[in-house]
Structure 1
Amino acid sequence: MEYFEDLTVGDTREFGAYEVTREEITSFAGRYDPQPFHTDEDAAEESMFGGLVASGWHTAAMTMRLLVEHQLSGSGAMGALGVDSLRWPTPVYPGDTLSVRTEVAERDVWDEDRGRVAIEVTTTTQADQTVLSMIGQVLWRRR
């Protein structure tokens, strides 16, 4: 178990290799963000993206999966207060492989049982293009 006291400002981690499929992009978008450049290949080719792209919300969801699998599971993370500065600077295309880098930016005592940890999250593609950046505000169990 990794507790609040185990985290230090500047701690970094890198993980993941999540391959994004065309089917996943259109399925997610059809359900949650049905804009044509997420759901229709012909319309997407005529868009500013030049092809089918994942919804930013889908990118956030894939990032969250990687965070849970590689950093949060088995830790003292108790849930988030929210995220700050969420950005999607580059779109995610079918066939991209996503990886995540995290860095502890801040930490302070929340109450006697929990600490607040600000974690800078950056998701990149196999070409090292940033597709998501955010700062998660996570409550972490204290010893």
Structure 2
Amino acid sequence: MQERYLEDFTPGEVFHSPTLTVTAEAIIAYAREYDPQPFHLDDAAARSTFFGGLAASGWHTAAMTMKLLVASEFRPVGGIIGGGMEEMRWPRPVRPGDVLRVEAEVLEVRPSRSRPQQGLLRARCTTFNQDGEAVQVILPNLVVPRRP
């Protein structure tokens, strides 16, 4: 896949990722390291919580989303470099056995006034489970080089 400069992106374009199957072991390993709460660590303990069962940390979902974006056809020159996030929400929990995929839609492409060698690309990145339900929605602003 070829990397693209800012000028190569068009609002309305949608990019797709491969899929990733989430395991209970991965949920627990991430939680042990970064978000050690009962609903991320132990299915039995999680049953009596808001989640009603083992659920991935939202931050784990964000990390899996990043992995899928990097593996997708969405390829800015120099990588996916964040310049901030307008929105981040997790409308549904991610569970063991879920199969995730990401769609990245270009919302806006804007050259920088102060740094003419780059611009900002505003996107909506939605992570879906195998049932087509959104499990995460983010609106990042990405720094993308302009064509030399």
The normalised TM-score by structure 2 is 0.91
Q: Which runs of 5+ in 1 are unaligned?
A: none
Match of 2:131 among 127, 130, 133: 127
Any residues of structure 2 matched to 1:5-24 within 5 Å, and which? 5-24=7-26
Equivalent residue, structure 2, for 1:141: 145
Which residue among 2, 5, 9 is the counterpart of 1:3?
Answer: 5
More strand by share: 1
Amino acid in the other structure paired with 2:10: T
47-56 or 67-76, larger mean C-alpha shift? 67-76
Query: What are the superposed Cα offsets for residues 70-129 of structure 1, whole Å, 9 maximum, x if unpaired?
Result: 145573446111211100000000000001011111111112110100010000000111
More helix by share: 1
Contact 2:15 2:72 in 1 (8 A): no
How has the CA–CA distance of structure 1 residues 63 and 33 changed in structure 2, closer, same or farther, with 3 Å as cutoff? same
1:102 to 97, 101, 104: 104
**Residue in structure 1 matched with residue 49 of structure 2 by the alignment:** 47
Asked if 2 retains the 8 angstrom alpha-carbon contact of 1:3 and 1:75, the reply is yes
Letter matched to residue 83 of structure 2 = L
Moved over 2 A (4+): 71-78
Change (3 A) 1:103 1:41: same
- 3-state SS, counterpart of residue 70 of structure 1: coil
Question: Structure 1 14/24 Cα, relative in aligned 2: closer, same or farther at 3 Å?
Answer: same
